[in-house]
Copies of this chain bind each other. A is one copy, B any other.
Amino acid sequence: MRFNRPDPADVRRIACIGGGLIGSGWAASFLAAGYDVIVHDPDPGAERTLHRTIETAWPSLVAMGADAAPATEPRFTTNLEEAVADADFVQESAPERLDIKRDLYHRLDSTMANDVVIASSTSGLLMSDIQAGDGNAARMVLGHPFNPPYLMPLVEVVGGRQTAPEAVDWACAFYQAAGKHPLKLDREVPGHVADRLQQAIWNEILHMIAAGEATPEQIDASIVHGFGPRLAIMGYCLLFHMAGGEGGMRHFLEHFDPAVADAWTRLPSPPITPELTEAMVAGCARLQGERTMEDLATLRDKALVGFLTHYRAVTATTS
């Protein structure tokens, strides 16, 4: 089976299944990118959430380059079949329950063209479990957004065991065309990538508060005024590559002392094997590309100055 109907760049009509905060956030994002959007939710009350989300999101979307108003009005329906009838792509953001999602996908099998790609926003489920036993599993992919979905660029994309690789590639090309930043993962893993990292930090936060080591205010201040702003610019691999000086990540890992590091968190480090070192070093070299360490420091500082200045201005007027 090929997933080339239509070409990712020719998508016009998108069905958003599920009209909660994530589903309606997706709808706002797709509207701003110029698509025709129809939202389905079995609860008629979700129509209000949809309009409120669009109203909240639009000034930000305009600031990011969208038109002053959506080119087309978003449509809402409680009828699933109507929502997907002519859809070129479906973004599913139904409740996070395996039975609900599986029923939903089975119903879609009988009401939609077989080769239309369906992407699930699920955080907590794996596509392999959602699609298991479904005759139309090949077109089902994960397309996991970040809150708020109308602003954050990242979409994690990966297939389940039965997903056709072409469906994953089609979804990546579509999200790219829609102005998103698709991140194609090599394999399924619970929590995907970003939520795993977030959960590690959140669990350490819960432990620290439970142990009386810090208060929520101290935790949040340490993030916002400390390490948070850098993470809007570079991830930890590149940041710690820079922290290694001219020796980069290799120097950093050679001087990494698990005995000290493990005392700083309840999560023990893995052994720093030669294989792990090589994987890290090679990845950091690719991340750095042709840029010198000085180029990276300049990028970091320019971005930080802008962020800190902007944060100061925004908090002065709204906090």
Interface residues of A (CB under 8 A from B): 21, 56-57, 59-60, 63-64, 124, 146-148, 151-154, 156, 181, 183, 185-187, 189-210, 212-238, 240, 243, 245, 260-273, 275-276, 279-280, 282-284, 286-287, 291, 294-295, 297-311, 313-315, 318-319
Contact = CB atoms under 8 A, between A and B. Distances in A.
Contacts of A272: 206
14 contacts: A57-B301, A151-B301, A183-B225, A190-B260, A191-B264, A197-B205, A198-B236, A203-B267, A205-B237, A216-B284, A223-B231, A223-B236, A232-B307, A266-B267
Nearest to A221: B183
A201 B203 CA distance: 10
B152 A263 contact: no
A307 B304 contact: no
Q: Which of A147, A148, A214 has the most CB of B within 10 A?
A: A214
B319 A291 contact: yes
Contacts of A314: 299, 302-303, 306
Q: Which of A148, A194, A262, A313 has the most CB of B within 10 A?
A: A194
Contacts of A197: 201, 204-205, 219, 222-223, 227, 265
Contacts of A203: 200, 261-262, 265, 267-270
B287 A299 contact: no
B228 A214 contact: no
A208 B229 contact: no
Nearest to A266: B267
